[in-house]
Amino acid sequence: MNIPCIDLGKQPLANKFIPKEDLGKNEYKYHLAYEFNPDTYLLSMVHQPDMSDMFNDSYPYDSSGSATMVTHFKDMADNINKNFFGNILEIGSNSGPFICNIDKKKNPVAIEPCSNFAKITRDKGIPTYDKFWNSDTAYEVMSNHGFFDVVYSANCMCHIKDVEEAFFAVRNVLSNDGTLIMEDPSLIDMLKLSSYNELYDEHFTMFSVHALQKLLGKVGLYINKVEYLLNIHGGSNRIYASKTMGGDSSLKNALMIEKYLGVDKVDTYHLFNERIQQHRDIFTNILYEYKDLGKKIISYGATSKATTTFNYCGIDSNIIDYITDTTPAKQGLYSPGMHIPVVSPEEGLDDSIDIIHIGAWNYTKYIMDKEVNYQNKTWLTEVPFPRIIKG
């Protein structure tokens, strides 16, 4: 039985940035809430928006847009080129920072439903299917390319509504000795960091290793190894699974830590919900106090995470003058729900700013090291709790 436990109120689609001419129009909103199932251990969304409204030819999030992610995917591709044999399929290839670094001898194939990004990898010679991942797509891909020895998927399985069917389809395309390697944000990191803003429309499920073990087991896949990725999306797990039973000490450790932190108990999520309500009150108070003093506040990074925070806390352009972001596809538009203007760093970063809120909090160190000209400003974050980092 699913038990409702986390409530983030009415939210827009996190990556649906709005052109000026559409500001007066009706904007789609849904109730962002999560429920926990004590039998499956799954923490999943209660009211799920339609996937094709989120992932289409105008999806703006580009995984090649940050140096950290580009290096991360290049390193992983090098690792697979060296240590794994056979054909490779990537599910959710975005603009291709992983699959484009895979050896052509490994016959890389990509699945990417956002056709603006699918075109990029196809133009580079990689067979790319702009389709959602499910059994039909798996059948089509397998008919054309045969079985795969490695299926890699980063920050994608948590986006899929019918995730059991998605794993079933993975199992069907994997060769008998094949390996599924998947990376998704870590549930215990969200709990430890109180980073509620990792919850948004695209994250249907926040996986714990406990939940994945049960879910994969249902389709005949077994977790063999768990790697923890400290700097990726605020902390992620990389899971290696195959058709062969047996996990090493990394799996046992991951399960032990999760159990200690209570991922298997609904009370943990009720407490999380209470904690984030307090965070919301403290964070908005800090911002209102600065605003009352006449300070100019901006936000750095028009992230999905910031969409959740701003809509949950009711922070609009009366508080935050604008958001700076390096992504051309977001610049000149308005943030989802709260309609804060998004501008380029060149346009938005200048000495008139008093306070900088870090929307891309998972890159805090990288950003603060980079922005040497703004070290004298006050920098704010809400993760792991609302506070002034500097200034």
Query: Which residues in this chain contact ligand TYD in the complex, by CB under 6 A?
Result: 61, 65-66, 301-305, 325-327, 330, 360, 362-363, 366-367
> Rounded to an integer, what is the distance from CA 341 to the centroid of its chain?
22
Whole-number minimum distance, CB 246 to ligand TYD, in Å? 34
Q: Which is nearer to ligand TYD, 134 or 326 (by Cβ)?
A: 326
Q: Which is nearer to ligand TYD, 77 or 302 (by Cβ)?
A: 302
Whole-number minimum distance, CB 63 to ligand TYD, in Å? 8
> Rounded to an integer, what is the distance from CA 366 to the centroid of its chain?
18
Whole-number minimum distance, CB 344 to ligand TYD, in Å? 9
Residue 152 CB burial class (10 angstroms; 0-12, 13-18, ≥19): buried
Q: Which is nearer to ligand TYD, 104 or 365 (by Cβ)?
A: 365
Whole-number minimum distance, CB 331 to ligand TYD, in Å? 10
CA–CA separation, 314 vs 352, rounded Å? 24
Q: Are the CB atoms for 304 and 202 separated by under 8 Å?
A: yes
**H-helix segments, the chain:** 51-54, 67-83, 115-123, 135-145, 163-173, 187-193, 209-218, 249-260, 266-292, 304-313, 345-348, 364-370
Q: Which is nearer to ligand TYD, 100 or 360 (by Cβ)?
A: 360
Q: Which is nearer to ligand TYD, 98 or 240 (by Cβ)?
A: 98
Q: Are the CB atoms for 238 and 250 separated by under 8 Å?
A: no
Whole-number minimum distance, CB 202 to ligand TYD, in Å? 8
Which residues, in sequence order, are CB contacts of 119 under 8 Å at separation 6+? 128, 130
Instruction: List, as one string, the DSSP characters of 176-195.
Output: EEEEEEEEEE-HHHHHHHT-
Whole-number minimum distance, CB 67 to ligand TYD, in Å? 7
CA–CA separation, 18 vs 1, rounded Å? 38
Whole-number minimum distance, CB 325 to ligand TYD, in Å? 4
Q: Which is nearer to ligand TYD, 14 or 211 (by Cβ)?
A: 14
CA–CA separation, 302 vs 330, rounded Å? 8
Closest CA to 225 of 252, 201, 204: 252
Q: Which is nearer to ligand TYD, 150 or 360 (by Cβ)?
A: 360
